[in-house]
Amino acid sequence: MDYTEVLQQIAHELRPVIGQGQVASYIPELASVSPHHFGMAVVTIAGDIHTVGDAREAFSIQSISKLFTLVMALQLEGEKVWTRVGREPSGTPFNSLIQLEAENGKPRNPFINPGALVCTDILCTRYAVPENAVVEFLRPLSGNRNLHYNRAVAASERRTAHRNAAMAHLMKAFGNLSNDVDDVLDAYCRHCAIEMNCVELARAVVFLAHGGTHPEGQGDILNTSMAKRLNALMLTCGTYDAAGDFAFRVGLPAKSGVGGGIVAVMPGECGICVWSPALEPSGNSLAGSLALERFTTLTGRSIF
């Protein structure tokens, strides 16, 4: 299939809606990002790259990093991860304190903020500088040896992380956080501030389309069973409290971030990433969600 032609058609069709929505202004450094960017990339298992628009412009991956911190936590602790974090859709905003309190400090899933804080806590126990460990994990997967986090974005996010701090302290009170809260928050804000472009992110998730093995020589990232289950978790929980509607419209495992990026996986074929910074109310890229919906419609491919 000529994915480049499909991407060009999507970009043409979505031109009128690119820029609609709101950028993530609650993180001051992201408030200045133009809402009019649009980029999309497909990287196949064979290594072919197809792009359109701003696909090679780096952006803040934000909650997409939660996918990779979960992978690293699973590599370290396997099934033990699920004793501390659940696998159910939240049905509430990604930073809900009410749900966390009601469920005794165990987050619903690893893709909402408290769940990602638990995964970050696992990395803090195992690594002296956990944010650098995430960067080192992503460099070979993405193909960018110079990949790093944006210190200004990380500092901006850390200064305004009051709600995340409240959730971390609440989990600490319930015994579900082992390390110092400030250390966990520092690492969390820094891995959220990692900058990547659409090509790098699409390449980084190809292993999930390939049974857990990266096809470009990076070896086994997860076993086949874990890769299958991670894809299922992305489908049901990866796009905040809009996951059900996203699965209905798009039909692919995906993980979004408030930087405007969304990664998606077409098992057996490719990794996909779209970026458009203006968000819909749930925190997903408005144009990005529509682009992935058009992608599965135009290609006739989804997991269903």
Does residue 188 have an active-site annotation? yes
Determine, yes or no, domain membership for 121. yes
Options 90, 96, 188, 263, the catalytic residue: 188
CB within 8 Å of 118: residues ≥ 6 apart: 84, 85, 107, 110, 171, 176, 177
Q: How many domains does the chain have?
A: 2
Residue 118: CA count within 13 A, CB half-sphere: 26
Rg (CA), the chain: 18
| Residues 275/36, Cβ–Cβ less than 8 Å | no
CB within 8 Å of 267: residues ≥ 6 apart: 208, 209, 231, 253, 303
pLDDT at 1: 81
Whether 74 and 170 share a structural domain:
yes
Options 6, 33, 63, 302, the catalytic residue: 63
- Segments forming the whole domain that contains residue 260: 3-60+195-299
Whether 177 and 250 share a structural domain:
no
Sign of the CA dihedral with 178 first, then 179, 185, and 189 last? negative
Does residue 63 have an active-site annotation? yes
pLDDT at 67: 98
Determine, yes or no, domain membership for 292. yes
Length of the chain: 304
CATH of the domain at 186: 3.40.710.10
Whether 235 and 120 share a structural domain:
no
CB within 8 Å of 38: residues ≥ 6 apart: 11, 14, 18, 53, 54, 274, 275, 276, 287, 291
Sign of the CA dihedral with 124 first, then 153, 114, and 79 last? negative
Options 206, 258, 263, 265, the catalytic residue: 258
Does residue 149 have an active-site annotation? no
Whether 56 and 201 share a structural domain:
yes
Whether 204 and 292 share a structural domain:
yes
What 8-state DSSP symbol labels residue 194? B
pLDDT at 55: 98
pLDDT at 95: 74
Q: 């928050």: which residue's tokens?
A: 185
Whether 100 and 8 share a structural domain:
no
Phi and psi dihedrals of 161, rounded to 5?
-85, 40
pLDDT at 160: 93
Residue type, 200: E
Whether 200 and 258 share a structural domain:
yes
Distances (CA, A) of 273 to 63, 73, 74, 214, 287: 14, 23, 23, 17, 12
Backbone φ/ψ region at 227: left (φ over 0), alpha (ψ -120 to 50), beta: alpha
pLDDT at 218: 74
Whether 182 and 82 share a structural domain:
yes
Whether 96 and 14 share a structural domain:
no
Options 52, 66, 181, 250, the catalytic residue: 66
Whether 67 and 55 share a structural domain:
no
pLDDT at 270: 97
Does residue 65 have an active-site annotation? no
| Residues 236/243, Cβ–Cβ less than 8 Å | yes
- CA gap 282, 263 in Å, rounded: 16
Determine, yes or no, domain membership for 304. no
What pairing do the DSSP bridges indicate for beta strands 261-266 and 270-275? antiparallel
pLDDT at 91: 77
Q: Whole-angstrom distance between the N-terminal and C-terminal Cα of the chain? A: 19
Q: Which of 192, 224, 251 is the last residue of a domain?
A: 192
Whether 187 and 206 share a structural domain:
no
pLDDT at 26: 87
- Nearest of 280, 263, 240 to residue 35 by alpha carbon: 280
- CA gap 214, 271 in Å, rounded: 11
Whether 100 and 199 share a structural domain:
no
- For 38-76, b/e burial (b = at least 16 CB within 10 A) is bbbbbbbbeeebbbbbbbeebbbbbbbbbbbbbbbbbee
- Digits of tens for pLDDT over the chain (304 positions)? 899 999 999 999 999 999 999 999 989 999 999 999 999 999 999 999 999 999 999 999 999 999 999 999 999 999 999 999 999 998 777 777 888 999 999 999 999 999 999 999 999 999 999 999 999 999 999 999 999 999 999 999 999 999 999 999 999 999 999 999 999 999 999 999 999 999 999 999 999 999 999 987 778 999 999 999 999 999 999 998 899 999 999 999 999 999 999 999 999 999 999 999 999 999 999 999 999 999 999 999 999 8
Does residue 106 have an active-site annotation? no
| Residues 239/284, Cβ–Cβ less than 8 Å | yes
Options 240, 250, 276, 285, the catalytic residue: 240
